[in-house]
A and B are shown apart, each in its own frame.
Chain A
Amino acid sequence: MIYLDYTSTTPVRDEVLESFIKTTKNFWGNPSSIHKLGLISENLLTMARGQMKDLIDAKNYEVIFTGSATEASNLAIKGICFQNATRGKHIITTLVEHPSVFNTFKQLESEGYEVTFLQVDKDGRINVEDLEKSLRDDTILVSIMYVNNEIGTIMPIEEIGEILSKFPKIAYHVDIVQALGRLPVRLADMQIDLATLSAHKIYGLKGSGALFIKKGLMLKPQQIGGSQEFNLRAGTVDVPSCVALAKAMRLIIEDIDENYKYVKRLNIQLRKILSNYQQIVINSPIENCSPFIINCSLRGIKSETFVHAFEKSKIYFSTKSACSSKKNEPSRILRAIGLDEELSTNEIRFSLSHLTTSQEIITFENTLQEVIKELK
C-alpha cells in the first residue's frame, strides 16, 4: 500500500498505542474520584497537560481535552461568542477554514452574529491589512487556520497575533491541526489565545483532540454536566487518550526539524513528477506552504475516477479534504483562490509524511503514467 493521504489521518504509532493500552489497563480510575486510584489518574492527567504545554510554549494556558478537533473548535468559537454576546456580535474568519470552523461561523451567522469572511489571494492567504480594516469595537473573535488543510497554505499567524495584541478584548483562535508537529507552534510567542489540535493527525488516536485556552479567558461551556475540565467540558475524562495524545505530541515534535527537511525533499520530488503532466495543475503555492500537502486539479479527468484508478494499485490519496469530500461539488477553498468550476471540482490532494519513502513516490510515478494513458 502507498498511502499519500496523511492530512486526512495518520496511522497510530506503536509507542502511542502502547501508552494508551497501559494506561487503560493499569490506571483506569476516574480522575474525579476522591480515592487514591482517582488521584493517580488525576496525576496522569496533570502530567499529560504539563507535557503538552511545555511542547508548544503554552505555560500560561489551560488544556481542555475534547473528543475531536471539531469539538475543540466549536467550544472555542461558540464559547467565546456566547460568553461575550453582550459586548459585541462581530466575528471574523476566512473563506478557506476547515468546515469545523467555517460551518460553526455559518451557524452563528444564522443566529444573529455578524460574520466577516476574509477573502484570500491566489495562494490562499489572507491580506493582513484586510483583517486590520475589518476590526471593529464590537469584534469579539478572530479565527484563522495556521495551515490550510486542502492546499497547505501557511497563514501569517504571527503577524496577525501581533496586530491583535493591541486589541486585548478580541480573542484569537487558531486551528493548528495541520501545523502541529510539522511547523513550529509557540502559542505564547505567537500571541494566540485559543488553539485547536487533533491527535489522529499526529500519529495518535482518533476520538481525541484538545483546546488550549490562555489563562483568564472566559468561555461559555458547550457541554453541561460535571465540573470536569475546568467546568468547560463535562463528562468523565478519557485519561488513556490524554496520555496518548501527550506522547504523540512529544514524539512528533521531537523529530520536527528532521521530518520537515525530509518531507521537503519528497515534496520537490513529487512536484517535479506532477508538473510533467499537462492534465495536472498544482494549486499549492511554492512559498509559505506546508511541504506536507500538495493540492492539484485535473483537466479533463474526474477526480473521483482518478482516485479510484489508483486504488487497484493500492495507492491512496484524496479528492478533497476528507471532511468535505462526500459531495461532488466544487471545492470552497479552490473557488476562493480563484479557480474555475472544473478545476475546483476536480481536485486531488496528496499529503506526505516522514513515513513516505522516495521509492513510494517512484512507484506512484509509474502508476501515474499508466493511469493517465488509460484515462485519456
Chain B
Amino acid sequence: MLYDRILVKYGELTLKGKNKASFINQTIRTIKEKCKKFEKLEYINNFERFYIILNGEDYEKVTEALNNVFGLHSYSLTAKCESNLEAIKDLAKKVVETEIKVKTTFKVETNRVDKNFPMTSLEVSKVVASHVLKNSPHLIVNVRNPEITLKVEIRSNGTYIMTKEIIGLGGLPVGMDGKGILMLSGGIDSPVAGFFIQKRGVSIDMLHFSSPPYTSDRSKQKVFDLTEKLAKYAPKNRIRVFNIPFTKLQKAIYDNCPESYNITIMRRMMYRIAEKVAKKNKAVIIINGENVGQVASQTLQSMYVINNVTSMPIIRPVATMDKIEIIKIAKKIETYDISIRPYEDCCTIFVPKHPVTKPELDKCIEYENNFDYEAYITECIENIEVIDVNAGNPPKIVSSSDIGSLF
C-alpha cells in the first residue's frame, strides 16, 4: 500500500492555554474510539502532531472515520520511504500517479530535517519535481500559487511524502464541555442544531415529544433515524433519546387555554420538561432548532414569553441562519431526507388557525393557572421512555428477536 500513515493536525484547540492537553487528549480518545474497528492501527502522539500508522488498513475507510471527529483541522495521507534520492523520486512519482488524474499545477516543497542528507532542500525539490514532471502528463509547475504541493520531509528514520491536505470538521472534541439536552422535533432545523452544538464540544441527549395516537410510530422512527445520523459525532457513537408521552398534557392545554395561545403554552411546557430532564441527567443547557421569525412561536416576542419559564441557558445554533443555509447543512449531514418524511409530530397537531404572534406573558400565566399543569408534567417525566441510539444501527419498531435470522 502506498500510504503508510495519516498525519493529523488539530484545529483551534491548539490555541487553548493550560487546557490544551486535555483538549488534545479528548480528541485522541475520540479518534481511537472511531477507529477501534481497524485493529492494526498504531498511534504516535507528538503533541502538535498526531500520526496514525496504517499497518495495511484501508486508508479510505480510516479517513471516513476521521471525518466524524470534531477537533481535527486537517489530515494528510503520507507515504514513507528510505531517505535516499532514488527512493524519494520513485515514491514521489507513485504518489502523483495515484493522486493526480487531471491537469493540475504543482510544486515540490522539501523540508530536510536530517541535515546529514547530502543535498539541500532546494536541490531535492528540483530533482523530484523534474522527475515527477517527466512522468506525469497532467502536471504544470507553478511555484507561486500551486493547486497541489508535494511535501517531502526528509528525516533520519525515513522520508515522508504527502500531497493534499484533507480538511476535517474543525470545532472542538465532543465531550469537552459537559452536556446539553437537544429538543428534537423531527423537522429540518433541530438536527442541524445538534450538529453545530456537537461541533462546539458539547455532548447531547435528545428530547422528543410524541403524542400518540395523533403522532405515529413512524414519527418516532424518524427521530431514531435522525439521532442515528448525529450519533456518529458522539464520542461513543451513541446518543440517548428521551421520549416524552405528551398527549395528555397537550390535550389539557387544548381544553383549558384559548386556541391562539396553544402553541405558546405548549412550548412553555416543553421548556419546563426539558429543564427537569436536563437537571436529572446532569445537563446544563437546552439546545433547539429555533430560528428567528420562522413561525409564530419563533417571533422575538414569542421567544421572550416562552423562554421565561426557565433560567437555564438555551442555545439556538441556527437562530440566525436562512432556511436555505440550514437545508444545505442538513443535506450534508444526511438528515434532510429523513426530516422531510411527511409524518405528523407534536408541533403539527392541535395547530391553531390564528396562532398569536405577540403573546403576552401575563396572559400565559393566567391561562396556565386554569389547570394543574405541574401534575401533568410530573406524569410526563414519570413515563419517560429512554432509548439509546447507536451510529450505524438505528433502533427499529420491529424487535430484533422477531427478526431472528431473517437477514
Inter-subunit contact A43/B398 (CB<8 Å): yes
Per-residue A-contact encoding for B374-407, CB less than 8 Å = 1, 0 else: 0000000000000000000000111000111111
- Given A162-B101, A166-B102, answer yes or no on A36-B406 (Cβ-Cβ < 8 Å): no
Task: State whether B397 touches A22 (Cβ < 8 A).
Answer: no
Query: How far is it, in angstroms, between the C-alpha of A15 and the C-alpha of B396 when the chains are bound?
Result: 23
* Contact A34 B407, CB 8 Å, known A26-B402, A44-B398, A166-B102: no
Contact B397 A243 (CB under 8 A): no
CA distance A22 to B398 in the complex (A): 14
Assess the A22–B102 pair: CB atoms within 8 A: no
The answer to whether the Cβ of A40 comes within 8 Å of any Cβ in the partner chain is yes
| Distance between B190 CB and nearest chain A CB, rounded to angstroms | 22
Q: Cβ of A100 < 8 Å from any Cβ of B?
A: no
Chain A residues with Cβ below 8 Å from B398 are 27, 39-40, 43-44
- Docked Cα-Cα span, A36 to B397, in Å, equals 8
In the assembled complex, the Cα of A46 lies from the Cα of B406 at a distance in Å of: 13
**Taking the complex as formed, is B216 at the interface, i.e. its CB lies under 8 A from any CB of chain A?**
yes
Interchain CB contact under 8 A, A23 and B221: no
Which residues of B have CB within 8 Å of A90?
A: none
Q: A22-B406, A166-B102 given as contacts; is B396 within 8 A of A36 (CB)?
A: no
Q: Does B218 contact A (CB under 8 A)?
A: yes
Interchain CB contact under 8 A, B402 and A247: no
Q: How many angstroms from the CA of A243 to the CA of B403 in the assembled complex?
A: 11
Contact partners of A250 in chain B: CB under 8 A: 407
* Cβ of B43 to closest chain A Cβ, rounded Å: 26
A34-B216 contact given A43-B397, A243-B407, CB 8 Å threshold: yes
Q: Which B residues touch A47, using CB under 8 A?
A: 396, 403, 407
Interface residues on A, range: 20 to 34
B218: nearest chain-A partner, CB-CB? A39
B405 partner residues in chain A, CB cutoff 8 A: 15, 18-19
For A46, the chain B residues whose CB sits under 8 A away are 396
How many chain B residues have a CB neighbour from A under 8 Å?
15
Per the bound structure, the CA–CA distance linking A243 and B398 in Å amounts to: 14
Is B217's beta carbon under 8 Å from chain A?
Answer: yes
Evaluate contact between B404 and A22: CB separation under 8 angstroms.
yes
Max count, chain B CB within 10 A of own CB: residue among A34, A40, A43, A243: A43
Please measure, in the bound complex, the distance between the C-alpha atom of A43 and the C-alpha atom of B218, giving whole angstroms: 10
A44 x B403 contact (CB < 8 A): yes
Report the nearest A residue to B396, measured CB to CB: A43
Contact partners of B216 in chain A: CB under 8 A: 34, 39
Known pairs A26-B402, A162-B101, A166-B102; A40 contacts B397 (CB<8 A): yes
- What is the minimal beta-carbon distance from A237 to any residue of chain B, in angstroms? 16
Q: How far is the CA of A235 from the CA of B95 in the complex (A)?
A: 50
Q: Given A15-B405, A166-B101, A247-B406, list of 19 further CB < 8 A pairs?
A: A19-B406, A23-B406, A26-B402, A36-B217, A36-B397, A39-B216, A39-B218, A40-B397, A40-B402, A43-B398, A44-B398, A46-B396, A47-B396, A47-B403, A47-B407, A51-B407, A162-B101, A243-B407, A247-B407
A-B contact pairs, 23 of them (CB 8 A): A15-B405, A19-B407, A22-B406, A23-B406, A34-B218, A36-B217, A39-B217, A39-B218, A39-B221, A39-B397, A40-B397, A40-B398, A43-B221, A43-B397, A43-B398, A44-B398, A48-B407, A51-B407, A166-B101, A166-B102, A243-B407, A247-B406, A247-B407
Ranked 10 nearest A-B pairs via Cβ: A40-B398, A43-B396, A43-B398, A19-B406, A39-B217, A39-B397, A36-B217, A243-B406, A247-B407, A39-B218
